[in-house]
Amino acid sequence: MEDRELLNVVDVEATCWDGQPPPGAVSEIIEIGLTVVDLHAGERVDRHSILVRPARSTVSAFCTELTGLTQEEVDTGVGFAEACRLLAAEHGAGTRPWASWGDYDRHQFTRQCQATGVPYPFGRRHTNVKAVFTEAYELRKRPGMARALEVAGLPLEGRHHRGEDDAWNIAALTLHLVSLDPRHAHRLTAPSA
Ligand code: AMP
Ligand code: MG
């Protein structure tokens, strides 16, 4: 019997502006935060940050303020195609179920893969943890990650809007949901419709 049940929790940061992008620029992934959760053990077992060099945009002062990431830092990163290759080759992206807070991260990957012709690295089993959290707590409005941590009584560890730390905190929220109701573990690993 498989004694580890792994889930990839992913949070991306992307180039952004206070308003619309400058002419010719598009929002592109600059960091992929990834925390590996063992649902069986109820633990976060690994954390990663993949820095990604944008090709059609640069990191604005606004974006640095939000994420803490600078252009110099992301210049040391890999290209988007290599980042997707690493997700599949080293992090089981194609075979493990994955999860994120909301649908933004999944849509950003879909969009950017389509725009660049890079193969989409993930499989079909994706869970929007924000939707599950909202249902579990019967909230009227879907909360941001920071608010959800408050509701759950969990600490916000590290820096909000850094992909690596956001993924780590979303993983804690995910495990919290499983501890409230073990049936959530099935929902996280079941094939999506
Ligand atoms: P988050 O995971 O909440 O850090 O957000 C992911 C990405 O969404 C960021 O890297 C930005 O590209 C974008 N984003 C989040 N919040 C804002 C904001 N207040 N203004 C502009 N873009 C944002
Ligand atoms: Mg984030």
Q: Judge whether residue 191 has pLDDT over 80.
A: no
Number of neighbouring beta carbons within 10 Å of residue 69 = 21
Of residues 4 and 28, more confidently modeled? 28
Residue 67 alpha carbon, nearest atom of ligand 1:
10
Q: Give the pTM.
A: 0.97
Pairing of strands 29-38, 43-51: antiparallel
Measured distance CA(25)–CA(55) in Å, rounded: 9
Pairing of strands 98-100, 126-128: parallel
CB-CB contact of 57 with 23 (8 Å): no
The closest alpha carbon to 125, from 106, 103, 104, 98, belongs to 98
Convert the pLDDT of each residue in 81-98 to its tens digit: 999 999 999 999 999 999
Q: Judge whether residue 56 has pLDDT over 70.
A: yes
Residue 129 CB–ligand 1 contact under 6 Å: no
Ligand 2 geometric centre to CA of 27 (Å): 14
Tell the residue nearest (CA) to atom 3 of ligand 1.
161
Structure tokens at 55: 């090709």
Domains and CATH numbers, the chain: 3-189 (3.30.420.10)
